[in-house]
Structure 1
Amino acid sequence: MQELVTTHQNESGDIIVSARELHEFLAIKTQYTKWFDRMTEYGFVEKTDYIAVSQKRITAQGNETVYFDHHIKLPMAKEISMIQRTEKGKQARQYFLQVEAAWNSPEMVLSRALEFASQQRQQLLAKVAEYEPKAAYYDYVLQSPSLIRITDIAKDYGMSARQLNAKLHDLGVQYNLSGTWFLYSEYQDKGYTHSKTFVREDGGTNSHTYWTQEGRIFIYELLKQQDIYPLLERQELDQQSEVPAYENI
């Protein structure tokens, strides 16, 4: 089949045609922009049947100009060709019918299905790779006791309890009152922490804040937004970013 007008496939899997190229093939004497505006009066809808595209170009005189075109879908291209009522229009319409038939042939349908499946597989593998470290840390957290000290969470990141408490304070999560850390009201009803009160030898009491599994995951997600990862993940990320060295031959 001789290619009369170039066809492409867009990201949505539709066949598209350059309206300007079609205008040229049809040998339309009317200026392109005026002609296309008239064609849209037949009920074609922008972003459904076509999209406008433009690019800046330099003329032979060295001036900058804007080059306008439209990418139209195959059904619109067929109908526009038929509207012209010329021999060129008839040729274009017959050509587009052949393109459509080839596009919908069992071989092409199977080919597109296999390509789509391949793309989906690659996206799935990328998602798995993205979440593998997270899942590993989640598993580690879920194997831990239900309540845990901030000291133990800090160790996950190679920090001291003081450093992690200060970081959570800087991020607007908690505040210190008489030596005890408390969550700001925004986080108090999330089930992130639990307080335990201990009786001292002198009869007084001390209150200590412990973090729940949910709270530990919250800290993980919060610190990840700051590009701070647990040592467990940091090692895996470092391994993934390693580039193999090749000896000079």
Structure 2
Amino acid sequence: MNKIVIKNVDGKLLVTSREIAENFKKQHKNVIQSIENIKAENSALTKMFLENSYIAGTGKSYKEYLITRDGFTLLVMSFTGTEALNWKLKYIEAFNKMEQMLEEQRLDLPTTYKEALQHLLVKVEENEKLQIENKEMKPKASYHDKVLNPDKLVTTTDIAKDLGMTAQGLNVLLYTNKIIYPVKKNGRTKCWKPYKDYQWLIPEYADFKISEYDTQLKWTEIGRKWLIEFVESIKKIS
């Protein structure tokens, strides 16, 4: 074990007899016997040693004691040797740190109705701030997962829907801003293509995606994001 575990049970700081036996290199049965000898000498000391039980690896239940700081002091008083002294000092330090932490927590607690109300208001504000941050982050995460998928292609119609527009209206807007141009056949627009400076918004094989049955330009998710931000910026200006 070779570690110190101090339990906080209803404000009482307790260590187990098993842990003490392990750290001080004693047989647990002998530690139990020492505790019961102390209790037998003075019944008032019983409250320092709380009888408890634990389940061993075999599945059987055995007795142990939960020991207060004062009980610990009485118990290890007779333990001698350099190593025992070192462990005593470690336990004293651990108890001190735990008690200090509990005292700091106690001081933070409100003592009047006004302080309790102020404490509650602070918590409410913190929770509201956290909820707002979560709401702001969730769309960003969702957008990153769903929109920036590099393996997915979207049509102009898909992007137009995101912007609350029609595909025709979006095409006209992009054409007006010299982002795309129409490819005509027999005087009719067969499809749209981006100008050279904007070809990075479509996949390299986009031309092969366009046929007489598929006249919509396909965009990468990066292209979709760029187009949405571009159109939104135009809306703000206008």
TM-score, length-scaled by structure 1: 0.37
TM-score, length-scaled by structure 2: 0.38
* Greater helix share, structure number: 2
Give the greater-gyration-radius structure (CA): 2
